[in-house]
Amino acid sequence: MERTPGPAPRIPIGSMLAAFAAAGFVALAGCGASGPDPAEYRVTANAICRAGQRTLTRLSEQVVTAQRGGDPAVVFREVAALKARQAAARRKVADRLDLLPTPGAELERVRAWIAEQRRQSTLVEALSRAFARRDETRIATLSQRIGALDADNDAAATRLGLEACAG
């Protein structure tokens, strides 16, 4: 069959864009379906948690030392500052974990666990403010909530194979 001279057939731009977009989505879906190797994820996440745990342990030791002080005003002020630093350290760990590519099969469980880590950071920030206000009732309430959430988060971390992330 002989082609007659003339302009090439035109494909509407919308159809071309839709085809490119569909190809991109298919490529992305194929690449992200399984995600990174779960064992590699655990090694990296545990390393992040170990570094965070060292910081939190040091801060907890400083809290204990501060609580031995004789002047209540100084004790409350120092503990408030240390709790604020603990909250920031917890948030930093959660932020670093959030940046890791997560294995697809565990994505939702890991996201939920990281969200609980952020919730715990928020509670520790509130505890810091309660110490700054010398609100002993709020301190007791928040301490209980943080303790319970800490136990839940540790159990979830263990189930995910993130032993270094469990307290």
**Per-residue pLDDT tens for 44-91?**
999 999 999 999 999 999 999 999 998 999 999 999 999 999 999 999
Buried b (16+ CB within 10 A) or exposed e, 46-83: bebbeebbebbeebeebbeebeeeeeeeebbbbbbbbb
**Per-residue pLDDT tens for 23-51?**
333 333 344 446 789 999 999 999 999 99
More confident residue, 10 or 104: 104
Q: What is the pTM of this model?
A: 0.77
Residue 18 has pLDDT above 90, yes or no: no
User: In the chain, pLDDT over 90 holds for what percent of residues?
Assistant: 75
Residue 150 and residue 166 in contact, taking contact as beta carbons nearer than 8 Å:
no
Residue 12 has pLDDT above 90, yes or no: no
User: In the chain, pLDDT over 70 holds for what percent of residues?
Assistant: 80
What's the average model confidence in pLDDT over 103-107?
90
